[in-house]
């Protein structure tokens, strides 16, 4: 249980930071658990952004492949029409 002097309000959880339960994070007082949560949230966000980038690249590649397939279909259809 926290006791003593209030140092600040934690910007992560918006709760009071007491003198016996704090760390400095970017020159601001926060709870140790909030620092761990914040770090994990940042890692999760970075992971999602990387995944989204990979998905965007895959989507662009599939669009290029689809365009190539459509051109090949048109070429084959024209070939069939000429032979008919």
Residue-range domain boundaries for the chain? 6-83
pLDDT tens digit string along 12-62?
Answer: 888 999 998 898 888 889 899 988 887 777 887 788 888 888 999 999 999
Q: Is 32:19 a contact under the CB 8 Å cutoff?
A: no
CA distance 17 to 4: 10
Task: Show Cβ contacts of residue 3 under 8 Å, excluding neighbours closer than 6 positions.
Answer: 18, 20
Instruction: Read off the pTM.
Output: 0.46
């Amino acid at each position: 249980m926290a006791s003593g002097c209030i140092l600040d309000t934690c910007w992560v959880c918006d709760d009071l930071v007491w003198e016996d339960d704090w760390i400095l994070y970017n020159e601001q007082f926060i709870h140790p658990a909030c620092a761990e949560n914040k770090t994990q949230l940042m890692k999760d966000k970075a992971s999602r952004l990387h995944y989204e980038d990979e998905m965007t690249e895959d989507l662009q590649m599939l669009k290029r492949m689809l365009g190539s397939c459509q051109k090949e279909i048109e070429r084959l259809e024209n070939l069939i029409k000429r032979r008919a």
